[in-house]
Amino acid sequence: MKITKIWLNETNEECTSCGLCESIAPDVFEVPYKMIVKENVDYDNFKNGIKEAADSCPVGVISFEEE
């Protein structure tokens, strides 16, 4: 399955800017003040890192979509 979309889902919690996602997948995530997803990235090349970052996020605000 291919990852087609990644977003910051702050419905229940807010990003704490801990930087864990950036340390796991620096080609995809950046944390200047809150997590942002870098533009023009082929997410499929970093699928394992994206999934690990989402699973490791202490507040669970990283969401992604696969098809």
List the helix and strand counts (H, then E) for the chain. 2, 4
pLDDT in tens, 5-55: 999 999 999 999 999 999 999 999 999 989 999 999 999 999 999 999 999
Tell how strand 62-66 and strand 3-8 pair up: antiparallel
Percentage of residues of the chain with pLDDT beyond 70: 100
The whole-model pTM stands at 0.92
d(CA 14, CA 67): 26
Spell out where 1-67 has E strands. Answer: 3-8, 29-30, 36-37, 62-66
Instruction: Set out the domains of the chain in order of their start, with CATH numbers.
Output: 3-66 (3.30.70.20)
